[in-house]
Amino acid sequence: MRLDGVRVLDLSRLLPGPYATQLLADAGADVVKIEDTDAGDYARILPPYTDAGVGAIFDAVNRGKRSVAIDLKTDRGREAFLDLAAEADVVFEQFRPGVVERLGVDYEAVRAVNDDVIYCSLSGFGQDGPHADRVGHDLNYVGMAGLLDMTREDEDSKPQMAGYPVGDMAGGLFAAFSVVGALLSRELGNTGGEYVDVAMTDVVASFSQAVAHDALTGENPRPGETELSGSLPWYDTYETADGNYVTLAALEPKFWETFCAAVGREDLTDAHMTGDPAEREAVREELESLFAERTREEWEQELGETEAMVAPVRTPAEALDSEAADARDLIDHSGTVPRVAFPAQSTAEPDGAAGSPPGHGEHTDDVLEAAGYDADRIATLREDGVIE
C-alpha cells in the first residue's frame, strides 16, 4: 500500500478533491497542490480555525502536501503547469465542467505532453448529462441521488441527512480508489494513461444498493419502510433512559436469539422475521420499553461484549476520543492539530503525510527548480505575477 514515487498534481479545493488526494498522500504519494496566486484554496480561510489561524478543514486534508502558486490564466503560468504535468503520474481537478478546457490544462492538453498520465475529474454531476453545468454542494448531490430521501424525517417531515458530508467524502474516497485503480492498470500493462470522470452524485447513488432493487422494479422505498431503514424492530435504534440511543442490528436469527436470551426475553424469539405488521409493532413496543429501562452505558456494559448485536450511538466527539480509536491509532497527532488518520492498517505501512499543511506557494521554487527552471526564470515569473 505504498505509493512512494507517485507524483500527483492537485488542482482541487475545499473538501472532496483534497480529501481524495490526502488519502493518496497518506499512502506515500507526493501531492503538489496547484493553487492560484491570490488566496489559494478557499478552505485556508474557512472557519473553524486552528490555533495557527488556518482553516481546520484545510489542515485536516492537506497534510504533507506541497503548494505551488501559479496563475493558470496566463500563458507562462499554463506553460509552467504543463512542464510539471509532463513528469506527473496523476493530474486531479475538481472544477466545473469546461473550466480546465478554458484554462488549457484539460486532459487533452496534458496528454499532449504526457501520454501516460492518469487524469481524474471530480465534479458534482459529471462531465456530461443534463445536470453537468449545475452548481452544487453536498446536500445537492445527496438529494439528487435519492439518499436524502431515504433518511429519517423529523416531526415536520423535513428530510434529515444521516451523515454529513456524505457526498463530498464519498466522492473523494471513490475518486482516490479510481486513481489507484488506474495507476495499477497502467503498471500491469493493461492500459496506458486514462481519463477518469467521477460524479459525486453517481457515487452517492451507488450507496443506495440496499434499496435500489425495489426502486428499479416499480416500488418507492421510503424511510422506515424498508428492512434496513427501520421497518424491522430488530434492526433499528432505540432511546435509552438517559436520552441517548443504542442500535440493535440482530438481523440474523442467531444474533436475535442471543439478544433475547441476554435480556431475558426468550418469549420474543419466535417473532423474528415475522411478516405480520401487528406482531412487528408489538415487538417494537416491547423493545422501546426494554431499552428505556437503562442508560446507554448500562446497556453497553451488559451487552457490549456479547453477540447480541447491540452498540451505543456515540457523538462524533465521543467516537473520536475513545479507547477503540486509540487502539486503532485512528487519530494522527503529528501535526499542529489532531486529525483522523488513514483508515486502514497494513503490513507495508507507508510513511504517510505527517506534519502541517503547506503554506500558500511554499514550495513553488523547489518544485519549479526540480522541473529545470533556473533562479533567474523563477524570479522573472514572480516579478510578473505568474507565480507566488
pLDDT (tens digit, 9 = 90+) per residue, 289-324? Answer: 999 999 999 999 999 999 999 999 999 899 999 999
User: Quick one: pLDDT band at residue 36, thresholds 50, 70, 90?
Assistant: very high
- Indicate left, alpha or beta for 188 from its phi (over 0: left) and psi (-120 to 50: alpha): alpha
Domain borders along the chain are 7-207+330-384, 235-316
- Distance between CA atoms of residues 266 and 308, nearest Å: 13
Residue identified by cell 434529515 is 160
- Distance between CA atoms of residues 369 and 363, nearest Å: 10
Long-range Cβ pairs for the range 251-258 (8 Å, 24+): 251/309, 254/307, 255/307, 255/308, 255/309, 256/309, 258/306, 258/307, 258/308, 258/309
**CA 354 and chain centroid, separation:** 19
Identify whether the C-beta of residue 385 lies closer than 8 Å to the C-beta of residue 379.
no
Q: Which CATH architecture has domain 235-316?
A: 2-Layer Sandwich (3.30)
Identify whether the C-beta of residue 183 lies closer than 8 Å to the C-beta of residue 89.
yes
Residue 336: its pLDDT value, please?
79
Phi and psi, residue 384, nearest 5°: -90, 5
Residue 348: its pLDDT value, please?
87
pTM (predicted TM-score): 0.92
Sort strands 339-340 and 331-332 into parallel, antiparallel or unpaired.
antiparallel
Domains 7-207+330-384 and 235-316 share a fold: no
Residue 164: its pLDDT value, please?
66
Q: Decide if domain 7-207+330-384 falls under CATH 3.40.50.10540.
A: yes
Residues identified as active-site: 168
Question: For residue 198, how many C-alpha atoms fall within 13 Å in the half-sphere facing its CB?
Answer: 30
Identify whether the C-beta of residue 21 lies closer than 8 Å to the C-beta of residue 120.
no
